[in-house]
């Protein structure tokens, strides 16, 4: 059933997060909102980056080479955009080191640029602590949830370090009960009743 809403979701995991690439003509300035970036092996397959999912990985079976990518959520204060940043292993080194040095990457200011300034140029990242009072950032989304939605992989099939994934079980009866409640509400609205 499609559910439409006239308000923005309060839960940051319900909002779509665009993937932003580092431009060739100007640096990307943002603040990391992820406490700990996550990485995985990926393939460029089917005109997009997809995760390597052994033992049943179609890209591996087709002989497509893998590379490791790091993912973090970031916030751009100029555009007010909360987005997902994808980086290669080499590009993510400074962010990972910042996390080791400070115990978290959340609140880390980044300036990303391509050297040389071509679309496949190496990404150079400068990191700096930011003042949370001067540059407040949105609440931290669940990165594993965002990646599971991006790649259409059930969250129960994603393993992350130091994280226990708890998936609530929803029985068929509970789903049917919810559908019946929705039908009653629709019927009540159709009859002009507002008491349900």
Q: What is the pLDDT of residue 192?
A: 56
Higher pLDDT, 39 or 167: 39
Q: Which of the 8 DSSP states describes residue 69?
A: E
Dihedral over alpha carbons 8, 10, 16, 19 (to 10 degrees): 120
Determine the 3-state secondary structure of 150 from DSSP.
helix
Q: Give pLDDT tens digits for 143-181.
A: 998 998 888 888 888 887 755 443 334 344 444 555 666
Q: What is the C-alpha to C-alpha distance for residues 4 and 10, in angstroms, rounded to an integer?
A: 15
Q: Give pLDDT tens digits for 95-123.
A: 999 999 999 999 999 999 999 888 889 99
Cβ neighbours of residue 22 under 8 Å, at least 6 residues apart?
Answer: 28, 112, 113, 114, 123
Q: What is the pLDDT of residue 180?
A: 66
Q: What is the pLDDT of residue 191?
A: 59
Q: What is the pLDDT of residue 172?
A: 42
**DSSP track, 103-120:** S--TTEEEEEEEESSSTT
Q: What is the pLDDT of residue 7?
A: 65
Average of pLDDT values for 128-136? 91
Report which of 44, 39, 172 is spatially closest to residue 99, judged by C-alpha positions.
39
Task: Answer for the pair 78, 102: CB distance below 8 angstroms, yes or no.
Answer: no
Average of pLDDT values for 21-37? 94
- Global confidence as pTM: 0.74
Report which of 74, 118, 117 is spatially closest to residue 92, judged by C-alpha positions.
74
As a whole-number percent, the residues of the chain with pLDDT over 70 amount to 74
Q: Which of the 8 DSSP states describes residue 73?
A: E
Question: Which of 51-60, 89-98, 101-110 is least confident?
Answer: 51-60
Domain definitions of the chain by residue range: 14-161, 166-196
Report which of 150, 166, 167, 137 is spatially closest to residue 38, judged by C-alpha positions.
150
Strand partners, 48: 45
């Amino acid at each position: 059933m499609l559910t439409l809403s006239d308000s923005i979701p309060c839960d940051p995991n319900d909002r779509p997060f665009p993937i932003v690439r580092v431009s060739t003509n100007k640096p990307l300035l943002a603040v990391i909102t992820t406490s700990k970036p996550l990485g995985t092996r990926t393939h460029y397959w089917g005109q997009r980056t997809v995760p390597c999912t052994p033992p049943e990985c179609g890209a591996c079976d087709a002989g497509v080479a893998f590379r490791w990518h790091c993912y973090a959520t970031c916030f751009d204060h100029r555009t007010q955009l909360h987005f997902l940043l994808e980086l290669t292993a080499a590009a993510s080194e400074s962010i990972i080191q910042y996390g080791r040095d400070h115990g978290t990457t959340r609140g880390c200011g980044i300036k990303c640029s391509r050297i040389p300034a071509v679309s496949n140029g190496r990404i150079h990242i400068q990191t700096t602590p930011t003042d949370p009072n001067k540059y407040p950032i949105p609440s931290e989304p669940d990165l594993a949830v965002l990646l599971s939605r991006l790649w259409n992989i059930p969250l129960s099939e994603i393993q992350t370090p130091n994280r226990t994934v708890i998936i609530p079980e929803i029985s068929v009866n509970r789903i049917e009960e919810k559908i019946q409640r929705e039908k009653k509400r629709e019927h009540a609205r159709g009859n002009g009743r507002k008491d349900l």
